[in-house]
Amino acid sequence: MMISESFRELHRRGEGALIGFITGGDPSPKISQQIIETIAKEGADIIEIGIPFSDPIADGPTIQAASNRSLNAGTNPQAIFDIVKETKSRIEIPIALMTYYNVLFKMGVQNFLTKASEHRVDGLIIPDLPIEEAAEYRELAEKQGIDTIFLVTPSTLPNRLKDILNYTSGFLYLISIYGVTGKRDDVSQLTIQSIKRIKPYTAGTIPLAVGFGLHKPEHISSIIGSGADGAIVGSALVKIVENNLNDSIKLIEQISTLTRNLKSATLPKK
């Protein structure tokens, strides 16, 4: 199932999308595979897998630490591709990779995209790729059937937003706050206002998903209730990994419980 198809089906059912992020290969490729499949089985509609990178500029300390653990475990892009393909052999769920452009450049953009397609990757999120430099990349990605998911912030101006909407596919990723990833106590008024400001531009054209700082069911219901089509949760899941490095059974149990609770917040109110 493609990302756009997933959103269409959820819209038909009156549900919001839960997009779960995990750093691939953290704490090891084998356990990472179990975590991803658990998130999928417990209701996540789309999985976002981060390719570990030595200088993840958009990520806060929790995900930076996860990247370091993953790199120390020997994870590389090919290992992430293998995780995606293995997951897709058992669970039919859209999977997007989050990475930085240097990873593609080092492997060769065409080679990276070909491998991604062969391993059934559905989309890519590249925070440090501006639309002004994305035309050639996006054309190659389209040929491989891979969505390019661009990001906007609360400060993105209308003209800039329209330009980004011409480039993005799959969904538009709204960074809900200023700064890097990490848990926040509450959904800010700025986030709610940003959703309501941007939604008229995306309505009927592309889904709007919101991320950065979300970790409670009430956060998810607030985001969806304000008009977003999906909510992205990352640091809360990654933190569970960090807190249970020596107890994989407890790790999976806590991932399972959190995912199930978060997904329940995307369902239509009875």
Q: Is the peptide bond before 27 cis (omega within 30 degrees of 0)?
A: yes
Pure H helices in the chain: 3-13, 29-41, 61-72, 77-88, 101-107, 109-118, 135-143, 158-165, 189-202, 217-225, 235-243, 248-264
Q: Is 250 helix (H, G, I), strand (E, B) or coil?
A: helix
Residue 41 main-chain phi, psi, to 5 deg: -65, -25
Contacts for 135 with CB less than 8 Å, ≥ 6 apart: none
Active site residue 45: no
Taking the C-alpha atoms of residue 59 and residue 61, their distance in angstroms, rounded to an integer, is 7
Which residue in the list 37, 42, 59, 147 is annotated as catalytic?
59
Which residue in the list 42, 48, 147, 229 is annotated as catalytic?
48
Active site residue 92: no
Tell me, what DSSP letter sits at residue 179? S
145: Cα separation from own chain's centroid: 18
CB atoms within 10 A of CB 179: 11
Integer angstrom CA distances of residue 42 from 103, 173, 222, 270? 31, 23, 21, 20
Find the farthest-apart pair of alpha carbons in the chain and give their distance in angstroms, rounded.
50
Question: Which of the residues are catalytic?
Answer: 48, 59
